Amino acid sequence: MDKAAGQSMPRPRQPAPAVLHSGVRFWWVNQNQTFRHETQGGYLWSPKRSQGDRFNLFYDNMREVAPGDLVFSFSDTFIRAIGVVQGHCYECPKPAEFGSAGRNWNAIGWRVDVRFTELANRFRPMDHMEALAPLLPAKYSPLRPNGYGNQAVYLAELPAAMADAIGALTGAEFPQFLAVARTVATDEKSRATSDDSEIRAWEDHIVSVIEHDVVLVETERQSLIMARRGQGLFRERVAKIERACRITGVDRPTHLIASHAKPWRDSSHQERLDGENGLLLTPSIDHLFDRGFISFEGNGQLLISPVAHKTSLQRMGIQTEQVVNVGGFSFGQRQFLEFHRERVFLAARRN
């Protein structure tokens, strides 16, 4: 599938996916054009939307992937590799290796770090459709009944029974993958954290553009650059609206960070300094908000990502077993929070 020009898919209604194999979930990725780049580079990458800024379930699925999930790589009619997911999804510019002109700073998508291993016993699903066809998902299957991949699909979740059947066809390697996946999924100490170097490089590029923008006066440049870290004029404007952390209630300025709802890297110059684009949060809550593990409805209801580690959230002071409302937001804040829910929060839209 040409992910940069993928077909728009309808916004489906389906039940929330079940937790499978002691926390391990299974995914199928169609990688005909990007197999070598992604498997050797150790990642999955997709746009956030199809052409025309249209919703695409199979790109949105990137937000549901979690450490310890298993990914079956399908390319040129073969299952060629299996990957163990190493971290959660995060924003990332289109990789340089996908195009001829280097990293595309204007094409922002989702990236998931995955440790792929090419299979010694690669196989063609079409040679085993008598066993696999009855196990295909009823909706949004990445594989057609004739054994060819559905090229309208990039990333799709697999039922446990189908994943087990595919695993059996890979031979003795599959139980080893499962063992590694379970360890990563259940052992916090073994989880590999997502490398944020791509985000830093993206933001550093924006800083460089700001520094060389001859239209901006020096004070504007400095205000925009300081806003990246929640400081300066942006923080002053946020503090006129917000008095304390919405989650913890901490109100000492020393312990609070001015956090953008629409991330600094995604915002226009005006939005980077808009006080309504910010909340005052303690450092741990700022981390959860910035990485999309939590978000807020406009009426103040706290949203928790299905891939967030609930025990860790509880240790940070977040109630995960009951509905939490932190109080309503202004009209401007609600608009920025809508962007956060749509483009940052780690939960695929399934309505």
User: For residue 24, what pLDDT is reported?
Assistant: 82
User: What gap in Å lies between CA 39 and CA 162, rounded to an integer?
Assistant: 22
Q: C-alpha dihedral over 222, 223, 228, 234, to 10 degrees? A: 160
Every domain of the chain and the residues it spans: 3-195, 198-343
Q: Kindly state which CATH superfamily the domain 3-195 is placed in.
A: ph1033 like domains (3.10.590.10)
Q: Which two tokens stand for residue 302?
A: 């706290």
Q: Report pTM.
A: 0.85
The residue with tokens 């593990």 is 293
If one compares 338 and 102, the residue with the highest pLDDT of the two is 338
User: What gap in Å lies between CA 134 and CA 137, rounded to an integer?
Assistant: 9
User: For residue 244, what pLDDT is reported?
Assistant: 97
Q: What is the pLDDT of residues 62-112, one digit of tens each?
A: 999 999 999 999 999 999 999 999 999 999 999 888 875 556 777 899 999
User: For residue 13, what pLDDT is reported?
Assistant: 34
Strands 26-30 and 43-47: unpaired
Phi–psi pair at 5, nearest 5 degrees: -130, 35
**Closest by Cα among 290, 315, 325 to 305:** 290
User: For residue 20, what pLDDT is reported?
Assistant: 45
Rg for the chain, CA atoms, rounded: 21
